[in-house]
Structure 1
Amino acid sequence: MSRGLLDAQNRRAPDGLNRRTFLKLGVSVGAAVGGGLLLGFSLPAASQGETPQGKSVIGGDGNEAPQSGVFEPNAFVQIDAAGKVTLVIPKVEMGQGIYTSIPMLIAEELEVPLDSVVIDHAPPNEKLFMDPLLGGQLTGGSTSIRYAWEPMRKAGATARVMLISAAAQQWQVDPASCHAEKGEVVHAASSRRIGYGQLVDAATKLPAPQNVPLKDPKDFKLIGTAAKRLDSPEKVDGTAMFGLDVRVPGMVYAAIVNSPVFGGTLASVDDTNAKKIPGVRQVIRLDNGVAVIGDHTWAAKRGAAALDIKWNEGRGADFSTAKVVQQLADASKRDGAVARKDGDVKKGFNDAKTRVDAVYQQPFLAHATMEPVNCTVSVRADGCDIWVGTQVPTRAVDTAVKITGLTADKITVHNHLLGGGFGRRLETDFIAQALKVGKQVGTPVKITWTREEDVQHDMYRPYYYDVISAGLDANGRPVAWQHRIVGSSVMARFAPPAFKNGLDPDAVEVAADLPYDLPNQFIDYVRQEPMDVPTAFWRGVGPTRGTFVVESFMDELAAQAKVDPVKYRHDLLGKTPRAQNVLDVAAREAGWGNTPPKGQGRGVSVMHAFGSFFGMVVDVTVNGDGEVAVNRVVCAVDCGMVVNPNTIEAQIQGGIIFGITAALYSEITIKDGRVEQSNFTDYRMLRINQTPPIEVHIVKSGEAPGGIGEPGTAALAPALTNAIFAATGKRLRQLPVGRQLQSA
């Protein structure tokens, strides 16, 4: 079973949719499945595992049998007779700190110390754990705190009120004369106090109250404080369980060789030499790959290398990046689905004194998570178990139903910590493959893709081709704005109901909802699929590609108008004061206005996405060989009310590093139907010594929380390329930066 976070009290480590649509969906779906419904279900308690030392850990995945003597007022809180508080977290921990921030919300209202709780994975259950912002039990889109902000606090408050009522009944006093603190109910007038564990039986018999009042923010004790990560000790001492750590009795190991050509299928395989290798048990043929089963990973990998495989390469055999770009360029001449139409754009261009036109391109990108794709399965006639780290546990169940033919109640998903998600583990292709292999193996089998398989058979961030134009008046102010986005639709595949009338709401995110005051706008989207190349969400989703184009082009307009880039933006943000404020804070903290030395440059970007506002300033140095060094990044963020400033800072820093890597180096290119990159040797990562100082300035706000996991990535690229322009005078409209500068 899954092992997770330690009971921190007993153990220490040894010294898609656009924002507007999301909000509408949240209101309608939330009314149906949020609030009362979330609090009206009881979740079976998850038994806690034991380490060899007998120390309590997060053992469950929510699939264990119900326990007696446990107070479960809702799906998220469990308290046993010993007073142990288990919090069932509806989101998945993949490094973003959500296994600390969501518990903070519950613990604040429940009045228990954060370091006394045990954390448990939520099992697949859309009725209990649906995120109305995403329409399912998913972790992604920087929605975790936005979704959890009220329901998780209500969960904690409901439990607290019931425990206080139970104590008041026992003492025969007015509940209003009692209060909770540090896992106890206190009656101050008589100096009596009683622990939550002693109230379990009585509280279980009480009805759950509706519409419990929540704390006023001024009374918060935990929310807003710099809390340490609850999952750090296990990750430091190596006891944390990721998918790669799974060991099941009788388990064998599989190495996969997937078709090297997109859309290719298996023609034949000679496994004679593979079967001669000690430890190789079996060779399994799939439609588009071959699996070698071994007693251990080394035997399986050696067996896979010894296979003689012939492929039906099909129509993808001569596919290339050049053809992708040509198809996108051709598609850009078609009219698209209208995402926004304000004013009279044609008249605006006619009245303009100056017109600026540009084409921007962004490449395919791999996710390259540090934990490669892996999945362990046991497929039997009477049931199926899946051990995996996934962002979509219910989709994992649906995939198993489809592959095995079993009913959902026969499928058990044991979810684990994720060694990076970035959107890759929103997909279930690797789970489906493991199940297909598992059906042909009589024992549990673990499939682990090599890094090469991972890079060359990812589901990629789409290649985007943007055609954008603006008309400027005599003062250089935009009076017409036209933007056509051309690319693959991830939403059409991933969430078909959201793809309506040819419009992908994720692809036009940011582009169709600018913070700037622009009188005449026309934004449309043209769907153009890259044949058999699979595309998927990537960290930052639509705002990543949208912000790069919009903020790079905004810099072009400022240069055309001969106005300072910060002032130019500031003057257009009068109707969006939160965006204007983060721009001003970032510029001030970065020392904007001080002229950098020769060969250095400073660039800026502004973004409103995921419910948060970002201002970012990047300083770079460009040497004579076109090599870019990022010297400093300053970010100002208004993400509404802050739950854990430590997590916010860490997520922004991580997102910025992810964004620098992609902007400088990352691209997936295709030749002869094959991905040319294979590992970190040619799909390069930013190294520690290249990572700049990153300053994060959190702007105090009383607004509801916004998202934070992805905005840092989304806002980075244009600030970087704008800084390069300031240093070199070269305007980069295509990523990655390194190849463009060195080929210029």
Structure 2
Amino acid sequence: MSREKATSRRRFLLGGLGLGVAGVGALVLGWGVLPPRQRLNGSAPLPVQDGAVALNGWLAIQTDGTVILAMPRSEMGQGVHTALPMLVAEELDVPLSSVRLIQAPMDKIFGNVAMLTDGLPFHPDDRGRLKALAQWTVAKAARELGVIVTGGSSSVKDGWGPMREAGAAARAMLVGAAAALWQVPAAQCRTQNGEVLHPDGRRASYASLARHAASIDPGTPALKLPADFKLIGQPAPRRDTPSKVNGSARFGIDARPPGMLYAALQLPPRLGDTLASFDAAPVLALPGVRKVADLTAALGRRGVSCVAVVADTYWRAKTAAAALPVRWEAGPQAGLSSESVLADFGRLLDSEAGFAYYSSGEVEGKAVQAMRQVSAEYRAPFLAHAAMEPVNCTAQVKNGKVTLWVSTQAPGIAVDVAAKVAGVDAKDVAIEVLLLGGGFGRRLEVDMVAQAVAIALQCDGAPVQLVWTREQDTQHDMYRPAALARFTARLDEHGRIASWDNKSVSGSITHQFLQRNFGLPGAGPDKTTAEGEFDMPYEIANQRIAHVIADSPVPIGYWRSVGHSHNAFFKESFIDELAHAAGQDGIAFRRAMLVRHPRHLAVLDAAVAKAGSPPPGHAHGVALHQSFGSIVAQVAQVSVENGDIRVQRVVCAIDCGIAVNPNIIAQQMESAVLFGLSAALGGEITFKAGTVQQSNFHDYPVLRMGQTPEVETIIIASAEPPEGVGEPGTPPIAPAVANAVFSLTGKRLRSLPLRLA
């Protein structure tokens, strides 16, 4: 299929799906009756070498018994290069140490189905047929799209089925090969540590059986029951730790193809400015400078107007780019300010009803109108991603072929955009996905890929590495959206919530992402704007949760926990506010609204019990939130020292379904808490006259070691399938801290970041 036809089909499906938001009904007719695309065998054999034998599209057996596993997900510190091999090793009955990873080819079987189905705007309590039909249809469409992407805390959830099935199918084939060789029933054989064994003492290694096994039909092998797990559920050490400790780990910025040049950019000083002119002569005279290039035309909608300088070292490219005389033409956002954005949000909340994501009962019915009313308004700022590894990409365009070396969460999208910029077919783009020094959603974007390829087109076949400065990363990010939320609730005579009316406003990430990366117009509701508000577990009879989408002049993108990152702060702070208004303890107040949610109640109780009582001069704040399928409760122990908020300890309880690797879960809870705490205490991107006011870690701070609290994680035992882990620990920390601050000081902090002065 040509690239044009493949792109057209992807655009059609994405347009119909809205990335899991809209248009489900149109896909049901005709196409919907066909069986879903299988995810075991790829469209081409798994590329292997040195005598290895592929048993399906995911794995192969080498002559020494090593298991080669195709890895479609990016490792950015979340531990998937350990957790996902555990799924295969469990079903295949091999030691985890015998599994070696290779990068998965660009094949639809590796597409992330769970991430798209999780984008549907249904309440977690919804058990209706429409939800089931929508999930089935979107999952089917996601298999057709085959978008290889890492995000949405979906890697283990998505791999739970197909990767275990790949291991189980290979095991069945190997058992079948041994049974045929020994002329015994397959049911008499068992497997252990990479061997097939028979009760009479005969045994054969997987390596010796692989070639014969490749021709055996595995049928539909049964997966192990949780009671039979030997590896899943164990705290296996992270496989990437040694290389990261000894310095041998290769991140995107470590790419060093022979003959590589370096590139740096000069980006517009204000949002929306365009390149008017530049004088290349003074810069071309500097030592080592090879080229100065205007990238505006080559990038089109895929990037901001900018100019690149190419040199033989990064320092020379960077200093030359900074010295380049450039004249910029002011764009329509030259007068933009944070104040004007929030003022516009306020006007929209005053004038627009918004899209109701969830409603029940009558929030303004006669029965509640005479009850006590409590109202509040909460706000959150734009946030940068601030990943430790600078934005970078290395590209080579030579003889009609493109090669990429990049740390990306979206290799499929990166290949597509590289092909478009270079004017080649996607099959002529090779990509090596290296380790990510932090992703957090920033590396779902491919602007750096488009820029690097546009530069490489002008470098006569030489590879070129583009590196952004920290200041450019901070001032030209796709930011976490700013948001404004209004709440009105009514309390009955017993202090219970009788009605809950919540309306919020922000830009739509999904609308912008579709436009930037697929050229699709943003339309319809966007679940990410209201997630964490409309899907709360609290049992309130009368509810209305709506959201108004604002046209955002600021580029916005997915940020760790997305809409949950601020909506949890809004919702859990207001719950605490209502508890205080009702004269009740915040924990008891929540418990009373979780009668039909025993899993949520168990998580809350576990965190509270572990936290105990705060020491003198400290206070506890509590928050409970469900995101990405996982339920998290946090208790923050807080003190105030010289007017500064200090978080001393955080107890975090999580129910994420089956715990594939408890160590990784605990690490991710710690990481998520610290990431969220950085934002809660200091994260804020502000605009003045169209210019971002922050530039580096001195004015966009992240948590320092001396500010880091002790984080204790409790993992609730569960037999449910695994849910998300990388992001759910982030949303509850801000409201937990804010609620503790109120308990200490009596001051209700309704804006992020949290500041007492």
TM-score greater than 0.5 by the shorter chain: yes
Helix, strand or coil at the partner of 2:527: coil
Change (3 A) 1:270 1:312: same
Cα distance between partner residues in 2 of 1:450 and 1:264: 19
- Contact 1:266 1:286 (C-alpha < 8 Å) held by counterparts: no
Cα distance between partner residues in 2 of 1:113 and 1:33: 35
Partner of 1:534: 555
Tell whether 2:411 aligns with 1:429: no
For 1:416, which of 420, 426, 434 is the aligned residue? 434
Cα distance between partner residues in 1 of 2:109 and 2:637: 48
Deviates more, 1:416-425 or 1:84-93: 84-93
For 1:91, which of 64, 69, 73 is the aligned residue? 73
Partner of 2:42: 41
Output one character per residue of 1:28-82: Cα deviation in whole Å (capped at 9) or x when no partner.
9999897x71113266445xxxxxxxxxxxxxxxxxxx53743322221111222
Shift in Å, 1:595: 5.8
Change (3 A) 1:416 1:250: same
- Contact 2:275 2:327 (C-alpha < 8 Å) held by counterparts: yes
Shift in Å, 1:130: 3.6
Equivalent position amino acid for 1:115 in 2: S
Please, what TM-score do these two structures have when normalized by structure 1?
A: 0.90
Helix, strand or coil at the partner of 1:357: strand
Shift in Å, 1:309: 1.3
Tell whether 2:270 aligns with 1:261: yes
Partner of 1:201: 211
- Contact 2:252 2:406 (C-alpha < 8 Å) held by counterparts: yes
Partner of 1:229: 238
Partner of 2:597: 576
For 1:252, which of 233, 258, 261 is the aligned residue? 261
Cα distance between partner residues in 2 of 1:33 and 1:448: 45
Number of aligned positions between the proteins: 695
Partner of 1:295: 312
Shift in Å, 1:463: 0.5
Change (3 A) 1:42 1:272: closer
Output one character per residue of 1:678-734: Cα deviation in whole Å (capped at 9) or x when no partner.
111111010111101100011111111111100111111100111111111110110
Change (3 A) 1:311 1:654: same
Cα distance between partner residues in 2 of 1:31 and 1:172: 42
Output one character per residue of 1:105-161: Cα deviation in whole Å (capped at 9) or x when no partner.
100000000012111222332344342432432111111111111211111000001
Cα distance between partner residues in 1 of 2:197 and 2:690: 69
Partner of 1:71: 53
Cα distance between partner residues in 2 of 1:72 and 1:551: 50
Output one character per residue of 1:174-225: Cα deviation in whole Å (capped at 9) or x when no partner.
111111110111112x211111111121011212x23210111111100000
Cα distance between partner residues in 1 of 2:387 and 2:193: 39
Cα distance between partner residues in 1 of 2:653 and 2:285: 60
Tell whether 2:648 aligns with 1:638: no
- Contact 2:614 2:637 (C-alpha < 8 Å) held by counterparts: no
Cα distance between partner residues in 2 of 1:318 and 1:105: 53
Shift in Å, 1:486: 0.2
Equivalent position amino acid for 1:521 in 2: Q
Segments of structure 1 that go 5 or more residues without pairing to the other structure are: 1-16, 47-65
Equivalent position amino acid for 2:375 in 1: D
Cα distance between partner residues in 1 of 2:21 and 2:169: 30
Partner of 1:214: 223
Deviates more, 1:224-233 or 1:281-290: 281-290
Shift in Å, 1:660: 0.5
Change (3 A) 1:350 1:571: closer
Partner of 1:507: 529
Cα distance between partner residues in 2 of 1:31 and 1:719: 47
Alignment of 1:575-594 (within 5 A): 575-591=596-612, 594=613
Equivalent position amino acid for 1:548 in 2: F
Partner of 1:144: 155
Change (3 A) 1:570 1:385: same
Cα distance between partner residues in 2 of 1:241 and 1:613: 34
Cα distance between partner residues in 2 of 1:580 and 1:527: 33
Equivalent position amino acid for 2:188 in 1: S
Helix, strand or coil at the partner of 2:332: helix
Alignment of 1:574-723 (within 5 A): 574-591=595-612, 594=613, 596-598=615-617, 600-624=618-642, 626-723=643-740
Cα distance between partner residues in 2 of 1:385 and 1:679: 31
- Contact 1:361 1:463 (C-alpha < 8 Å) held by counterparts: yes
Equivalent position amino acid for 1:338 in 2: A
For 1:277, which of 276, 286, 302 is the aligned residue? 286
Equivalent position amino acid for 2:319 in 1: R
Change (3 A) 1:115 1:348: farther
Tell whether 2:572 aligns with 1:555: no
- Contact 2:389 2:438 (C-alpha < 8 Å) held by counterparts: yes
Q: Percent identity?
A: 44
Change (3 A) 1:495 1:298: closer
Change (3 A) 1:254 1:501: closer
Shift in Å, 1:435: 1.5
Helix, strand or coil at the partner of 1:316: coil
- Contact 1:102 1:145 (C-alpha < 8 Å) held by counterparts: yes
Change (3 A) 1:679 1:548: same
Equivalent position amino acid for 1:37 in 2: Q
Cα distance between partner residues in 1 of 2:454 and 2:522: 33
Equivalent position amino acid for 1:131 in 2: V
Cα distance between partner residues in 2 of 1:201 and 1:91: 28
For 1:521, which of 539, 543, 567 is the aligned residue? 543
Tell whether 2:212 aligns with 1:191: no
Cα distance between partner residues in 2 of 1:18 and 1:693: 41
Equivalent position amino acid for 2:601 in 1: Q
Change (3 A) 1:508 1:399: same
Partner of 2:473: 454
Cα distance between partner residues in 2 of 1:184 and 1:262: 61
Give RMSD over aligned pairs: 2.3
Shift in Å, 1:514: 1.2
- Contact 2:371 2:490 (C-alpha < 8 Å) held by counterparts: yes
Tell whether 2:511 aligns with 1:492: yes
Partner of 2:84: 102
Helix, strand or coil at the partner of 2:197: strand
